[in-house]
């Protein structure tokens, strides 16, 4: 019978090869592929906004549905192919194996992060400002989501620390989803491998930097829509706190660091140590 998945040892070796293969991509290709990934995650984030609108009798069930539809984003990233910064944090495995230099890794991360940001913000502008779909309850939900992510209470140390650990847990699950998809040898296996960890991180309330690159700009653009403002129920002070500065200061910076730790250390470095370095030492 044909083996439909890689073993953990084979998967660790594949992870190193996967990271090393990214060295050949030019900066322009990385930005374009990163923009595509930003758009794909943005599509999923918009769908999650729509599904999350309204009250469910069981809040846990609502979170499950929101997480379930959000998994579409990583499926679009992994199967057709694009570059997602949170997944690329696992390039640390190739760096530890000396298949990449630190400069190679940082070059990839910078271009892909920029591409993810451009694609996410573009899609947020397109959907919120151009489609006419968000001037109402859906726009109100977008505002509520964005406001919750940049509220002034974030300035406190305890709140920032909470977001850091939410981000670590998030990318731990996201990178495990990428590994499960990498281990599967058919599309059905990849879809199943992606679905459960992504559903879990969203339903659990963890923080993903590329998703937030869509959610928060979507809220900023929705501020210009009168019906969305009314539907959100946010007062003038909370609306004023939602802007391009707080996008970075109150969310993206700390979430980026947390996601880097979750994917680069908790997944890639650990699996490299367990299945590659330890095996070489034993040999």
pLDDT digits (tens, 9 = 90+) for 73-113: 999 999 999 999 999 999 999 999 999 999 999 999 999 99
The values of phi and psi at residue 151, to 5°, are -60, 155
- Render pLDDT for 18-30 as a digit per residue (tens, 0 to 9): 999 999 999 999 9
What is the percent of the chain with per-residue pLDDT over 90, rounded to a whole number?
86
pTM (two decimals): 0.93
Assigned domain for 3 exists: no
Q: Per this entry, what is the length of the chain?
A: 283
pLDDT computed for residue 164 by the predictor: 94
pLDDT computed for residue 61 by the predictor: 85
CA 162, 164, 165, 170 dihedral sign is positive
Assigned domain for 108 exists: yes
pLDDT computed for residue 206 by the predictor: 95
Structure tokens at 139: 């726009």
Q: Residue 80, Cα to own-chain centre: how many angstroms?
A: 17
Cα distances (angstroms) measured from residue 247 to each of 101, 242, 244: 31, 7, 5
Please, which pLDDT band fits residue 279 given cuts at 50, 70 and 90? low
The values of phi and psi at residue 260, to 5°, are -65, -45
Structure tokens at 171: 């990318």
Assigned domain for 238 exists: yes
pLDDT computed for residue 5 by the predictor: 80
Assigned domain for 66 exists: yes
pLDDT computed for residue 86 by the predictor: 98
Mean pLDDT of the chain: 92
Number of domains observed in the structure of the chain? 1
Structural domain including 105 reads: 8-278
Q: Is the pLDDT of residue 280 over 90?
A: no
Assigned domain for 177 exists: yes
Assigned domain for 2 exists: no
Residue 30 sits in a domain whose CATH number is 1.20.1080.10
- Render pLDDT for 114-170 as a digit per residue (tens, 0 to 9): 999 999 999 999 999 999 999 999 999 999 999 999 986 655 556 678 899 999 999
Q: What is the mean pLDDT of residues 50-58?
A: 80
Cα distances (angstroms) measured from residue 282 to each of 8, 264, 275, 277: 17, 24, 11, 9
- Render pLDDT for 244-274 as a digit per residue (tens, 0 to 9): 999 999 999 999 999 999 999 999 999 999 9
Assigned domain for 1 exists: no
């Amino acid at each position: 019978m044909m083996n439909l998945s890689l073993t953990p040892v084979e998967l660790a070796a594949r992870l190193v090869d996967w990271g090393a293969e990214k060295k050949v991509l030019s900066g322009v290709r990385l930005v374009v592929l990163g923009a595509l990934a930003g758009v794909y995650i943005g599509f999923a984030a918009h769908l999650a906004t729509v599904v999350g609108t309204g009250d469910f009798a069981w809040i846990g069930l609502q979170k499950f549905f929101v997480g379930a539809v959000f998994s579409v984003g990583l499926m679009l990233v992994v199967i057709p192919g694009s570059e997602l910064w949170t997944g690329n944090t696992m390039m640390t495995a190739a760096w530890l194996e000396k298949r990449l230099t630190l400069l190679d890794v940082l070059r990839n991360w910078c271009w892909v992060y920029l591409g993810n940001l451009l694609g996410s913000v573009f899609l947020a502008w397109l959907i919120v400002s151009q489609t006419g779909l968000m001037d109402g309850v859906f726009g109100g939900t977008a505002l509520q989501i964005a406001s919750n992510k940049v509220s002034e209470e974030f300035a406190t140390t305890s709140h920032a620390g909470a977001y850091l650990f939410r981000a670590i847990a998030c990318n731990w699950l996201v990178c495990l989803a990428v590994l499960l998809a990498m281990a599967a040898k058919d599309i059905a296996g990849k879809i199943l491998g992606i679905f459960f960890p992504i559903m879990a991180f969203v339903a659990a309330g963890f923080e993903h930097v590329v998703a937030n690159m869509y959610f928060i700009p979507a809220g900023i653009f929705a501020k210009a829509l009168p019906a969305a403002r009314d539907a959100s129920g946010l007062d003038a002070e909370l609306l004023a706190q939602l802007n391009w500065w707080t996008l970075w200061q109150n969310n993206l910076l700390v979430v980026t660091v947390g996601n880097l730790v979750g994917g680069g250390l908790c997944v890639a470095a650990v699996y490299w140590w367990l299945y590659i370095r330890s095996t070489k030492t034993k040999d």
